[in-house]
Structure 1
């Protein structure tokens, strides 16, 4: 049976990737709503390529992270460096969570305190799913590893 924590983490990472792509397709109002900041929204409105490139890159990374969770859950074939990948992804989600709370308190910058807090809670939740799921399948992931 597939690991439900990694399946949930995969689904949430995929949803995050799709929401990022939505920002590209639906433009400045989506960039603003999801907290990308007024500068990104204005660049998007002006037709600059930077928001599209940045957002596509983020969506691609989140998509790969979703694939790693699916691989760890046993839904798709094992990806290279699966244990390392899941540990790094987990660490990035959890580190982003902590960093966001710090930034909310110290220097929110262009983004609102609400953005930093909500996005940090989301990252904490997803990171926790990856952490628990990875711990549960750790011994299975070591079998057959090169």
Structure 2
């Protein structure tokens, strides 16, 4: 497999999102509010509950795994299991999350919150990076490794 700048970019975006999620834990309740986790999560964090941190670490972990799959598909790290399937599914999740904006506008014209608007647009960029990168890498991803 050759290096794929689009998948590398997608992997870097996912890795940055993972780090940002970990930063939210360190930033505390105000950061949960600012980054759109909701008042309930912020209040739990204020009360010293482990729930917000555990959920946020879980999300960061998923994003880190997704970054690893992008780097694998780009040829930066060894091929991970089910790399083709994973990259297609990751692309789909990001794109579907980004496209939440369409029904949000349809159901509530003019009433879309800034968080929904910006997070959807950002995640749509992530999804496009993964989808385009996967499409570019597909011939190399489809090749089965030579038997030992």
Would you call these one fold, judging by a TM-score over 0.5? yes
- Matched residue pairs, number? 142
- Per-residue CA shift, 1:75-134, capped at 9, x if unaligned? 000000000000000000000111244246537xxxx71101100001100100001100
The change in CA–CA distance for 1:55 and 1:103 in structure 2 (over 3 A counts) is farther
Decide which structure has the larger Cα Rg and report it.
Answer: 2
SS, match of residue 80 in structure 1: coil
The change in CA–CA distance for 1:59 and 1:100 in structure 2 (over 3 A counts) is farther
| Consecutive unaligned residues in structure 1, runs of 5 or more | none
Tell me, yes or no, if structure 1 residue 15 matches structure 2 residue 16: yes
RMSD over aligned CA atoms reads: 1.7
Q: Which residue of 2 aligns with 1:130?
A: 130
1:50-129 aligned at under 5 Å gives the runs 50-103=51-104, 106=107, 113-129=113-129
- Per-residue CA shift, 1:40-99, capped at 9, x if unaligned? 111111111110111111100000000000000000000000000000000000001112
SS, match of residue 76 in structure 1: coil
Deviation beyond 6 Å, 4+ runs, structure 1: none
When normalised by structure 2's length, the TM-score is 0.90
The change in CA–CA distance for 1:104 and 1:116 in structure 2 (over 3 A counts) is farther
The change in CA–CA distance for 1:117 and 1:88 in structure 2 (over 3 A counts) is same
In structure 2, distance between residues paired with 1:39 and 1:21: 18
When normalised by structure 1's length, the TM-score is 0.91
- Per-residue CA shift, 1:26-45, capped at 9, x if unaligned? 11111111111111111111
